[in-house]
Structure 1
Amino acid sequence: MSHQNTFSNTPVKASSIIGSKVINSKGENLGDIKEIVIDPRLGRIAYAVISFGGFLSLGEKLFAIPFSALDYSLQNSEYVLNVSKERMESAPGFDTKHWPTMDDEQWNRDIYKYYERSPYWE
């Protein structure tokens, strides 16, 4: 009699998150996760860095998205970002070769505010 209980908060490797597809609430493909950014002092994921590729004519731009803004879809092993196209078009992004200085508290606050999330460090 072996019971196969699945822990609902099963941890996963960052490498298994990188490359995961990101969709919107309508199921449209937005892009994929390129990097996971971790706060080493708190041991928490600060951001998923997402490339939206050619989506919305944004070019190959990267976006730091608070990890709390993403919902995981276990069924399809993908992440759902519930943000409108209009909101994404004006989202703060950065070039693949010029990452922001993530030690700037105001930059971090602005990103979390844009996605209407409470800063993870508070």
Structure 2
Amino acid sequence: MRRRAIITTVVALLLALGIAVEGWAEKAKVEAPVVGGAIVAVNVEVVATTGYRASKLLGSDVYNDQSQKIGKLDDFIVGSEAEVSVAVVSVGGFLGMGSRLVAVPATLVESNDQGQVVLPGATEEMLKALPAFQYAK
């Protein structure tokens, strides 16, 4: 008897979850804005699947355009306008000891065909010469 009650509860929960997800998906649809009589729309599936996940980039080695390792991507800083404004790079040190953080404009960070994080024209010495980055308290 108890087993039947558990199965009934699980089935009801799954059905409710399915209805909730379907309702959420319908709410997520956005009406296409009209500009000058033309419908302007964005394919959300395409936008959501292009680019790189931050969780996959953080901790990645940073290279220059000569394929020299110059640091490690430590963090991103998101500005008040919800844009990534700064990339925080760990530079120097050995096996994580003695390294320090520096900030570079996120607009300078690129990726190459292999998916590596690249700072074109940068060298490890240039990054070491930047002021140390400190998080706001």
Is 1:20–1:77's contact at 8 Å kept on the other side of the alignment?
Answer: no
| AA aligned opposite 1:18 | L
Q: Equivalents in 2 of 1:19, 1:44: separation in Å? A: 20
- Superposition CA RMSD, Å: 2.7
- Pair 1:38 & 2:78 matched: yes
Aligned residues: 88
**Structure 1: gaps spanning 5 or more residues:** 1-5, 103-122
Pairwise CA distance, 1:62 = 0.3
The alpha carbon displacement at 1:54 in A equals 2.3
**TM-score if structure 1 supplies the norm length?**
0.59
3-state SS, counterpart of residue 31 of structure 1: strand
Q: Deviations over 1:28-82 (max 9, x none)?
A: 111211111111x311001111111328xxx311011111111211x22111112
Residue from 71, 80, 86 that aligns with 1:47: 86
The equivalent residue for 2:118 is 80
**Which residue is 1:113 aligned to?**
none
Query: Do residues 67 (structure 1) and 106 (structure 2) align?
Result: yes
Q: Percent identity?
A: 26
Matched with 1:13 is 53
Task: Output one character per residue of 1:71-98: Cα deviation in whole Å (capped at 9) or x when no partner.
Answer: 211x22111112245533421123xxxx
Name the SS for the 1:15 alignment partner. Answer: helix
Query: TM-score with structure 2 length normalisation?
Result: 0.53
In 1, the alpha carbon distance for the partners of 2:136 and 2:126 equals: 23
Determine the structure 1 residue equivalent to 2:69. Answer: 29
Higher strand proportion, which one? 1
Indicate if the aligned counterparts of 1:35 and 1:50 stay in contact, CA closer than 8 A: yes
> Larger helix proportion, structure 1 or 2?
2
For 2:56 and 2:84, how far apart are their aligned partners in 1? 14
Residues 65 and 118, structure 2, Cα contact 8 Å, conserved in 1: yes
